[in-house]
Amino acid sequence: STIVIKDFNGFMDELAQAIPKQSTYFLQIIVVRATVVGLSVELLRVIPFLQAFLRSFIGPRMTEKERLQPFIGLRPLSNPYKVRYGTVFGTDILYFMVLFVYSTMAPLVNFFLAACFLIMGSGYRYQFICNYPKDPDSGGLLFVGFIQIVQTCMLISQVTLLLFLALKKAVGALPFMLPLMGATFLFNLYLRQEHYKIANFLTSEDCMSQDIEDEEDESDIGDETDFQDQYLQPELRHKVLFPENYRKQHLSHKTSPNCSDI
């Protein structure tokens, strides 16, 4: 601490030079641990396979229905657990923070993160279509919350970049950062006042057009319970009776191609 106080200007110069070099460290974490290792474990389903292996020896398994049901947290592969969004996609915040902070200081980061997003997009899309159940689908509400977090990350990254320019004594670039931060803050405030409300509720124009269509319908209109879950997607409207009707449902869909037939 005494050396830092005596040579404060030299310490600031060393700190300004060390910040861009840390991009290599973050790239190693993102590419190796989060993308390669994490996605490989996810695609190979290592943890569900181990749980299914233990489940084959533990718990009631006399009938097929008992074998398909979970027991003390152990599940067979045919009865997967819903997606834990907080655990699976919690590292995405690190991806965006590294992208926002180092996109200008270390432009090479952009290409590596673009490859990571492409690989993760295809990998998790396969998992959602072929392995995970569709029950935890929120209809897009999780995306709204994620966008709010990303906008906060943008402000934090801009403050970090402003401090970095101050350490580098870039007097000419500092004034241009203030309008950028102000525009980002106002845009974030504008979205929180208007667009998030529309994302949670139907607009009055859509409601009015739907009411007019219902009034023009010649079919008999019952009570309000007849309209329950009518605005949901088909996958959310029809509840999956798994695993009680697994055998019946599996036989009825046997003729249609699925991911296991590919």
Mean pLDDT of the residues in the chain = 72
Would you state the structure tokens that stand for residue 204, as one six-digit string?
């009055």
How far the first Cα of the chain sits from its last, in Å, is: 63
Number of H helices, E strands in the chain: 14, 0
CB contact at 8 A, 82 and 132: yes
pLDDT at 155: 86
CB contact at 8 A, 104 and 161: yes
Distance between CA 259 and CA 262 in Å, rounded? 5
Span 248-256, mean pLDDT?
Answer: 47
Span 127-136, mean pLDDT?
Answer: 75
159-199, pLDDT tens digit by residue?
A: 888 887 877 777 777 788 888 888 888 888 888 776 766 66
Residue, of 141 and 52, whose pLDDT is higher = 52
Give the Cβ contact number of residue 124 at 10 Å: 17
Span 60-84, mean pLDDT?
Answer: 78
Q: How far is CA 92 from CA 81, 116, 158, 159, in A?
A: 21, 11, 18, 20
Distance between CA 99 and CA 102 in Å, rounded? 6
Span 54-82, mean pLDDT?
Answer: 79
Poorest-pLDDT segment among 107-111, 127-131, 236-240: 236-240
pLDDT at 180: 85
Write phi, then psi, for 74 (nearest 5 degrees): -95, 125
